[in-house]
Amino acid sequence: MNYIAYILIVIALVLGGGVGYFMRQLIANQRTLEARKEARALLEEAATKYKEMLLEAKEEAIRVRSDAEDDRKQRRSELHHIEKRLNQKENSLEHKRISLDHRDQVLHDKEKDIDNLQAELEGLKSEQIRQLEQISGISGEEAKSLLLQAVEQEVKEEASRQARIWEAQVKEDANREAQHILATAIQRCTADVVSETTVSTVLLPSDEMKGRLIGREGRNIRAFEEATGVDLIIDDTPESVTLSSFAPVRREIARIALNKLILDGRIHPARIEEIVKKAQAEVETTIRDEGEKAVYEAGLAGLHPELIKLLGQLKFRTSYGQNVLLHSLEVSYLAGMLADEIGIDSVTARKAGLLHDIGKAVSHEVEGPHALIGADLVKQWDGSAEIAQAVAEHHGEVPTSSVLGFIVAAADAISGARPGARRESLEHYLKRVRDVEEIASSFSGVEKTFAIQAGREIRVLVKPDEVDDLAAIRLARDISKKLEDNLSYPGQIKVMVLRETVAVDYAK
């Protein structure tokens, strides 16, 4: 029974496998048929597209060929046109060449004619020159020399006139600019007009004090003079005595000490020596304070203490009645303002202006001009070569070569020349006027000289037959140069040379 069941199962399995295989074959065949149909459809579609693309390619090729043919025809037409234009230009150039050849021939013939005419003219010129030489009695070289001399004289006169015009224009422009700068600086400077005099007279409460100052057998006056280094002059002037010394600081110490002795009333050698030491210490303090005050007012910093001390000593020094320290401060202000107007460093200019007369503090102890002494002091204590050069140049002991030197010299002249700044003795003034006229009269061709404007202008009348226009210009410069070299004067002197030619005739 089991055996039959196993056989049935096996048969069932075999039949099932056969049916399954058969079914799979049917399905596979069905899929194959479908795939073939799909592939056949794709091939037909591809063939259709291929034909369409082939037609499009043929149409594109036909279009490109047509465009190329049109372009070729157009280019051929353009080339034909260009070739035609070139032929026309070639024909035109050929005609021009022929015309130029003809012109060259004509010009060549004219050149021959010109050469012939030139040779003929040269012959005529030589003949005329020979005839002129026979008529005039001079050779061609001599005539050329005379002509050159005449032309040279004419050129000199023309150059002289033009030079005067240019010089006048340059002077006018320079003077206008200088006046503007100086006027601006002077307007900005508000310094007081003060003229000081060094007073060496000390008032006494009574004439009895003179005897006490002299002392027994003159011991008090000797002690006073030995302690101060100042001469005490006691004369018949009522209720006053005079102090005499070339050293202004010593004279100031003696003045203070003498006033203290008069107020104290105890006058003997020991007291005199004590009072003089106190006065000396007081003056040294005043010197230092005045120097520092001047530096502060000038707006400067870092100045060497020795220079500050020398500036303070200028407090007791006067020049033509003008206090030298106040003058130095004024020059410092003016130099700074001039530097601002010109466009250079105003601090350096103020410093040079403040120190320009520093040599006057020791000029009584050192031999030489105060400008050069001051320059040495600046080199020693400040080390600025530029400022030292300006100090040395401000009075002309050294030729002025720097802008700073010109500024300091101008500021110094403005400060000294303003009205009331300085006083001058009548004898010195008259002597300076005489010297100005004598220097101007020392030149040849000068007829008369007149010093006017308080000696600040000299008018020179010349002989017109001896001095021409050019010589008059040179004469004005020579007189100015000689005045600068031989005279010392404040400000400047204007030299005006006048030449007048008077023509006289009579109608009969």
Mean pLDDT of 132-145: 70
445 pLDDT above the threshold of 80: yes
The more confidently predicted of residues 380 and 187 is 380
CA distance 171 to 478: 17
CA 298 to chain centroid: 25
Mean pLDDT of 78-83: 88
Question: Would you place residue 198 in the very low, low, confident or very high pLDDT band (cuts 50, 70, 90)?
Answer: very low
Identify the pLDDT of residue 178. Answer: 65
82 pLDDT above the threshold of 70: yes
CA distance 243 to 276: 14
> What CATH number belongs to 201-417?
1.10.3210
Question: Would you place residue 166 in the very low, low, confident or very high pLDDT band (cuts 50, 70, 90)?
Answer: confident
Identify the pLDDT of residue 327. Answer: 86
Cβ–Cβ contacts within 10 Å for residue 60, how many? 10
Mean pLDDT of 251-274: 86
Which residue, 364, 326, 358, is CA-closest to 247?
Answer: 364
Domain boundaries, the chain: 151-188, 201-417, 426-498
Identify the pLDDT of residue 363. Answer: 67
> Which residues, in sequence order, are CB contacts of 331 under 8 Å at separation 6+?
353, 354, 356, 357, 408, 411, 412, 415
Mean pLDDT of 54-83: 87
Name the least confident of 18-32, 44-58, 63-77, 415-429.
415-429
Identify the pLDDT of residue 422. Answer: 54
Mean pLDDT of 174-180: 65
Question: Would you place residue 408 in the very low, low, confident or very high pLDDT band (cuts 50, 70, 90)?
Answer: confident
Mean pLDDT of 457-486: 88
Identify the pLDDT of residue 144. Answer: 73
Q: What percent of the chain has pLDDT over 90?
A: 1
Mean pLDDT across the chain:
81
Residue 412: phi and psi, rounded to 5, are -65, -40
DSSP state of 11: H
Question: Would you place residue 193 in the very low, low, confident or very high pLDDT band (cuts 50, 70, 90)?
Answer: very low
Contact 405, 394 (CB under 8 A): yes
Identify the pLDDT of residue 51. Answer: 85
Name the least confident of 127-141, 401-415, 429-443.
127-141
Residue recorded with tokens 């006083």: 423
User: Which CATH number applies to 426-498: 3.30.300.20, 1.10.645.10, 3.20.20.70, 3.40.50.300?
Assistant: 3.30.300.20
364 pLDDT above the threshold of 50: yes
46 pLDDT above the threshold of 50: yes
Identify the pLDDT of residue 199. Answer: 45
pTM over 0.75: no
The more confidently predicted of residues 10 and 42 is 42
Label each residue of 173-242 as H, E or C: HHHHHHHHHHHHHHHHCCCCCCCCCCCCEEECCCCHHHHHHHCHHHHHHHHHHHHHCCEEECCCCCCEEE
Mean pLDDT of 439-464: 86
Taking only the tens place, the pLDDT of each residue in 295-328 is 888 888 888 888 888 888 888 877 766 788 888 8
